[in-house]
Amino acid sequence: MFGRSFSTASCSVSGVTPPTLELSIGEGRVFQSPGYPVNYPSLQECTYNFQPAAGAQLRFSCSDMELTATSAAGALCTGDYLRFYDASGSLGGSGTRYCYSDKPDFTYASNINVLFKTNNDGNTGKGYDCQVVAEAITTTTTTTTTTSTTTTTPSASDCVTIGGPGSSKPCKTTFSYGFQRTQYRGCINQETPGQYLTLVPDFGDNAAAPSSADSSVSTNSITFSSAPGTVSPLAPRSSSVVRTLFWCATETDAEGFVSEWGKCAAGCLADPAGSYLPAAPRSVTRSQRVTVGELQQLIGELKPRPGLQFA
């Protein structure tokens, strides 16, 4: 990048304020030690002042550097050195110093002074051959992409069954059964009356229900079957056992009878009129007692029928 197409800038001697040299984008100056490439003299002190134009920054670089310092290599340069500093102190209290063969190579976006200083010990070097060029300030645009993930939680009324003959099918929004053709909205449970519910609770056992009768089922199992020549309003068209507390109709026939059932998962909509936990009766309101009583009567009426059994 170092070239000789730029004119040479002169430094101002000690005690003289250096003129401000403003450089627009693409402009540059060469600055060299006195007498370069012949060794510079002792007791030199001269200063340059460079200013970038609006929208520009200054890039400093050197093709040659040989300054004899009295300090150890790597320490703060003393004796003979080239110093870069500014009024704000952004380059540190004493600025940044270069000596020996250490060459500056950096950019700066505001006004900056360059001082060349030597001592009187008689040891001098070849000096420096540097340039400063004004470049356009490069702006980096960071684009942040935000990905929105929408999680759709099914409504409790959109319950999909997890067991039974109707497994993986949605519950019927409404269905009716029983001799009184009682209509229900959501999952129901025919166990001992307990808590009045609107959502199916999580019992920690959501495994799929068996698809055929099982003699080892617990008291939480309900058996639906039909006597020869009869059709039970609650029964599927074939004998089945559902190892679950809450179930719903997944299919109904033309007459509205339940022809297929499915096991309800926790969180599914439960019809409060038929939602009972396997627990002792709890305190309920007057209106809830009426509901519990009606279902107890319904259960009592259904039990004697030959085609309907509760395990």
Tell me the mean pLDDT in the region 172-197. 73
Q: How far is CA 30 from CA 175, 248, 261, in A?
A: 93, 90, 91
Flag whether pLDDT at 26 surpasses 70: yes
Choose between 248 and 28: higher pLDDT.
28
Look at residue 189 in the predicted model and tell me its pLDDT.
80
Partners of 16 in the β-ladder? none
DSSP structural state of residue 278? S
- End-to-end CA, the chain: 93
Per DSSP, helices labelled H in the chain are: 286-302
Q: What percent of the chain has pLDDT over 90?
A: 37
User: For the chain, where do the domains classified as CATH 2.60.120.290 start and end?
Assistant: 12-136
Of the candidates 136, 86, 92, 129, which has an alpha carbon nearest to the alpha carbon of residue 111?
Answer: 86
Look at residue 270 in the predicted model and tell me its pLDDT.
84
- Alpha-carbon distance of 40 to 122, in angstroms, equals 10
Instruction: Quickly state the pLDDT bin for 197 (edges 50, 70, 90).
Output: confident
Q: Specify the range with the lowest mean pLDDT, choosing from 2-16, 109-123, 141-155, 239-253.
A: 141-155
Flag whether pLDDT at 15 surpasses 70: yes
Q: How far is CA 278 from CA 1, 88, 281, 299, in A?
A: 86, 79, 9, 15
Choose between 71 and 294: higher pLDDT.
71
Look at residue 287 in the predicted model and tell me its pLDDT.
43
Look at residue 191 in the predicted model and tell me its pLDDT.
60
Look at residue 222 in the predicted model and tell me its pLDDT.
41
Residue given tokens 């029928």 in the structure block: 305
What is the arrangement of strands in the sheet containing 56-66, beginning at the earlier edge strand? Answer: 28-32, 127-136, 56-66, 105-108
Q: How many residues does the chain have?
A: 311
Query: At the topology level of CATH, where does 12-136 sit?
Result: Jelly Rolls (2.60.120)
Tell me the mean pLDDT in the region 134-153. 68
Residue given tokens 């520009």 in the structure block: 56
Digit-coded pLDDT (tens) for 92-140: 777 899 999 999 999 999 999 999 999 999 899 999 999 999 999 877 6
Rounded to 5 degrees, what angle do the CA atoms 237, 241, 245 make? 115
Task: Please state whether the predicted TM-score (pTM) of the whole model is above 0.85.
Answer: no
Digit-coded pLDDT (tens) for 270-281: 888 777 765 433
